[in-house]
Amino acid sequence: MQFLPIFMNIRNQTCLVVGGGQVAARKVYLIDRAGGKTKVVSPSLCDELARWAQTGSLEHLEREFSADDINGAKLVVAATNDAELNRTVSELAKAQGIPVNVVDNPDLCSYIMPSVIDRSPVQIAISTGGASPVLARLLRAKLETFIPAAYGRLATFLERFRSKVKARFAGNTDEIRHFWEGVLEGPIADKLVAGKDIEAESDLEKAIDEAEISGHHGEVYLVGAGPGDPDLLTFRALRLMQRADVVVYDRLVSAPILDLVRRDAEFIYAGKERDKHTLPQEGINALLVRIAKEGKKVLRLKGGDPFIFGRGGEEIETLMEEGVPFQVVPGITAAAGCSSYAGIPLTHRDYVQSCMFVTGHLKDGSTNLNWDVIAQPNQTVVFYMGLHTIAPLCENLIKHGLDASTPAALVEQGTTQNQRVHIGDLSSLAELVVQNNVKPPTLIIVGNVVKLHEKLKWFEPAGEKTSSYPTAGK
Ligand code: SAH
C-alpha cells in the first residue's frame, strides 16, 4: 500500500485552503461537509466560493498568502495555479507537521484526497494513489450505482441497536456478527431501504428478543475457488468467503483469491502437496467437524471444483455423519479454466466426440488406468495431477494405440498471470517438462483439439515474479 487510508475528524477545526478557483472550491466543499472551518486565502474568489463566503460557510482572507497563515491549521490545501507558491505552502506546512495536499502534485502532498461516495455515516473512499484520478472517478461512478441511497439511513438505524445486540449475545463477537449479517441480508434491511422504517424497527426488536443463543450455528461451506483467476469465482463463493470465521484452504487456492477472504478470519493451511500432505484427509475431515461444532462458520476453500478430483465428497460424508450443516459451491474446474485460457476448446466437433478427465496419480501410486478406454483417437483426454507421471502416461497412450504425434499441451498455473502453455506431442511431452522446468499445478491436455491453440490463443498473462500460489514450489 502506498498510502494509509484513514478518516480524519476535522469537526470545528480550522483548515486552510490557499487559492480561490474551482479546484479550491471542490476541496472547500468536502471540508465543509466534514464539519471543518475553512479559511481561504486568495486575492480573488470564483463565483461559487464568493457565494459561500457571503453565507458565512468560509472565512475569506482577501490577499496574497503569507507564511503565518499556516499557523493553527489542522489541515492545509494548496490549490493555486502558481506551482512555486504551492511548493512553498507545502514546505511550510510540512515543517510544522501539518498535513498538506497540493492539488495535482502527489510529490508535494503528505496526504491525498480520495474520491468519495457519501452515504453518511457510510463513506467509501477511492484512491489510485494519484496515478489516475479519472480512474478513481470512474470507479466511484460504478459503485454509486450499486449502493442504495438509503444505506446511510440504514447504518444510522442499526447503530441505535448496537449495544442492545451486544448485550443480548453477551459480547460473543462471532454471534454478534452472524446476527447482523442475517439482518443485513434479510427482510429487515430490505424494509428499511424501502422506507418501511416502523415495520423494520419492530421486526428488529423481535429478532433480537428471539435470537437463539446456543453457540451452535456452526456450518461448513465447501467452496470451489476455481483455477486461479479471482474473476472466475462465483458470486456465492465470494459471499461465503466474506462470512467465514475460519478458512481451511489448499495449496491450489491462489494468493489473489485468498486476499478476498474476510480479513479477520483465522486461516488454516491444509496443504495437499504430493508426498507432503500437511494434514491427512481424515485429519481435515475431523478438523472441519471440530471447528463447526464450536459454532463457527468454516470456509473449506478448494482449488477448482470440490467434486472434481477434490475429495469434497469424503469431507461432506463425514460432516453428514456428524450432523454438521454444510453447503457445496461448485467452482470452475482446472480443465474448463485452463482450456479456455489456453484457447483449446475441449470438445470442438471437428475433432472429437468426447472428453475424459483422468487422474494421473492413482491412490496406489501407480498409473494402472483403463488405457483401452482412454487411448481413443476421437477423444480429448485431460490429465489432472499428471506432471510427475507424465512419461508413463504418454508411453501408455502410445502403447494402447494413439499415434506418437498426437498433439498434447501442458498448461502451467492456468488462468493466472503466470500461465504458461507448452505445446508438443506424446513423444516430446515428458522432455518438454524438463526443458522448460514446468512446475505444478499443471494440467495435461491430449488430443487433436490441441492444434487449435495456435489459432485461438487469446490470453496474454502479464507474467509475475512470484508464483500465483502462495505455497507452490516450496
Ligand atoms: N479440484 C481441482 C483439481 C484438484 S487436483 C479442480 O477441479 O480443478 C489438482 C490438479 O489439478 C493439479 O495437479 C493440476 O493438474 C490441476 N490444476 C488445478 N489448478 C490448476 C491450474 N491453475 N493450472 C493448471 N493445472 C491445475
Residue type, 197: D
Residue 287 predicted with pLDDT over 80 = yes
Task: Count Cβ atoms below 10 Å from residue 90 Cβ, excluding itself.
Answer: 21
Cα dist from 459 to 94, 139, 224, 453, whole Å = 47, 25, 22, 11
CB 241 within 8 A of CB 179: no
Mean pLDDT estimate for the chain? 92
Give the least confident one: 10-24, 270-284, 365-379: 270-284
Per-residue confidence band for 104, with pLDDT thresholds at 50, 70 and 90: confident
Cell numbers linked to 57: 460557510
Residue 314 predicted with pLDDT over 60 = yes
Give the distance (Å) from ligand 1 centre to CA of residue 457: 20
pLDDT, tens digit, 9 for 90 and up, residues 149-198: 899 999 999 999 999 999 999 888 888 988 999 899 899 999 998 899 99
Residue 301 Cβ < 6 Å to ligand 1: no
State the closest ligand 1 atom to the C-alpha of 302, by its place in the atom list counted from 1.
1
Residue 445 Cβ < 6 Å to ligand 1: no
State the closest ligand 1 atom to the C-alpha of 332, by its place in the atom list counted from 1.
7
Residue 438 Cβ < 6 Å to ligand 1: no
**Distance from CA of residue 356 to its chain's centroid?**
32
pTM passes above 0.85: no
Give the distance (Å) from ligand 1 centre to CA of residue 273: 12
Residue 275 predicted with pLDDT over 60 = no
Identify the CA nearest to 451 among candidates 426, 423, 420: 423
Give the distance (Å) from ligand 1 centre to CA of residue 255: 15
Give the distance (Å) from ligand 1 centre to CA of residue 334: 5
What is the predicted pLDDT for the residue at 17?
98
CB 201 within 8 A of CB 156: no
Helix axes 22-33, 47-54, angle to 10 degrees: 40
Residue 303 Cβ < 6 Å to ligand 1: yes
Which residues touch 56 (CB under 8 Å, ≥6 apart)? Answer: none
State the closest ligand 1 atom to the C-alpha of 254, by its place in the atom list counted from 1.
22
Q: Identify which has the larger pLDDT, 294 or 398.
A: 398
Q: Identify which has the larger pLDDT, 351 or 132.
A: 351
State the closest ligand 1 atom to the C-alpha of 307, by its place in the atom list counted from 1.
1
Cell numbers linked to 215: 453457540
Residue 221 Cβ < 6 Å to ligand 1: no
Identify the CA nearest to 88 among candidates 60, 63, 69: 69
Give the distance (Å) from ligand 1 centre to CA of residue 179: 36
Residue 268 predicted with pLDDT over 50 = yes
Q: Which residues does the annotation mark as catalytic?
A: 250, 272
Residue 308 Cβ < 6 Å to ligand 1: yes
Long-range contacts of 166-173 (CB under 8 A, 24+ apart): 168/208, 168/211, 168/213, 169/211, 169/213, 170/213, 172/213, 172/215
Residue 334 Cβ < 6 Å to ligand 1: yes
Average confidence (pLDDT) over 453-467: 91
Residue 360 Cβ < 6 Å to ligand 1: no
State the closest ligand 1 atom to the C-alpha of 411, by its place in the atom list counted from 1.
24
Identify the CA nearest to 368 among candidates 357, 355, 359: 359
Per-residue confidence band for 279, with pLDDT thresholds at 50, 70 and 90: confident
